[in-house]
Amino acid sequence: MQIINARHQFYLRGRKVALAFLLILGLGQSSIAQNNPSDNLINYEDQWIHYGFLIGVHSSKYMIRYSDYFTSPAMDTVHSIVPGNLGGFKLGFVINMKLTRSLDFRLLPTVGFYENDLSYRFTNGITQRELKDATMVELPMLIKYKSERRGNLAMYMVAGINPSLEASGKGDEQDVGEKLELRNWNLAIDVGVGLDIFYPFFKFSPELRYSYGLRNMLTDTENAFSVGLDKLTTQNLGIFITFEGGPSTKRKLGKKTKGAGQIKARQKKRLKQ
């Protein structure tokens, strides 16, 4: 029990450190942008689609609801069922398509590595831990609402759905009657906030995103681990960084080519606005 409590404290502190990191990074970049009047990737929005990649770490846990059977005399030896808060990481690609001046559509094929657990605490002081780890293939489809650019910075919010399918997991087909059996696909709602930071050749974006599972992951098959539960869903809090490539600084306009003079003129016009 002490190990689980220490782990909870570790992830709570980790979230606070991550939030502080994002704030410091944003303030630092804001001061740089104010001291530097030139904008990077000024023709970034002229290209309607961008590609990139993402990496992230996350903390995930189960959300449970007890069944009526849990309060029956048959389970009077079980004191409680407590979900743990465990970490993992994700890797994926970014496909960003421009819809309007302020809206983008983002498709993020991602592979996530998860660990989740439930601790069954008995009245005699014994705790039995049921660990479930899995590799999930996810396909978040998000709408991105972005603010006006201020120098090389822009804030944004994202929201959408995230279907996922389990690619592999340990123990899923072994001793099913003695293990917590869950469904192999899920559907979640994702919401998040982030900061676009424009560099000369790419766009870097730290992002904080929360995912709330909609599907009850319990199967129709009941056993000793699932009989006390009526509903089990997932929740996930992730910190991501994405890198997206920008268009070339020179673009053909009819038979002419946009050169340094035209870029400088465009910069001056933006500064006056």
Categorise residue 171: left if φ over 0, alpha if ψ from -120 to 50, beta otherwise. Answer: left
Comparing 233 with 223, which gets the higher pLDDT? 233
Mean predicted confidence (pLDDT) in 163-169? 87
pLDDT value of residue 168: 74
pLDDT exceeds cutoff 80 at 147? yes
Looking at residue 248, what is its pLDDT?
Answer: 52
> Averaged over 68-88, what is the pLDDT?
92
Q: What angle do CA 76, 215, 109 make, to 5 degrees?
A: 135
Across residues 154-170, what is the average pLDDT?
91
What percent of the chain has pLDDT above 70?
Answer: 73
CA 267 to CA 248: how far, in whole Å?
16
Give the pLDDT confidence score for residue 38 in this predicted structure. Answer: 72
User: Please, which pLDDT band fits residue 39 given cuts at 50, 70 and 90?
Assistant: confident
DSSP for 2-47, please give it.
HHHHHHHHHHHHHHHHHHHHHHHHHHHHHHHHHH--PPSSTTGGGS
Reported pTM: 0.75
pLDDT of residue 271: 55
Taking only the tens place, the pLDDT of each residue in 238-268 is 999 999 987 654 443 333 434 445 555 555 5
pLDDT reported for residue 8: 46
Query: Residue 221's pLDDT is what?
Result: 87
* Average pLDDT score over the chain: 82
pLDDT, one tens digit per residue, over 200-231 is: 999 999 999 999 999 999 998 888 899 999 99
Task: Please give the pLDDT value at position 95.
Answer: 97
User: What is the distance between the alpha carbons of residues 254 and 273, in angstroms, rounded to a whole number?
Assistant: 27
Q: What span, in angstroms and rounded, lies between the C-alpha atoms of 171 and 177?
A: 11
Whether 21 shows a pLDDT value over 60: the answer reads no
Amino acid letter, 58: H
pLDDT band at 3 (very low <50, low <70, confident <90, very high): very low
What single-letter amino acid sits at 16? K
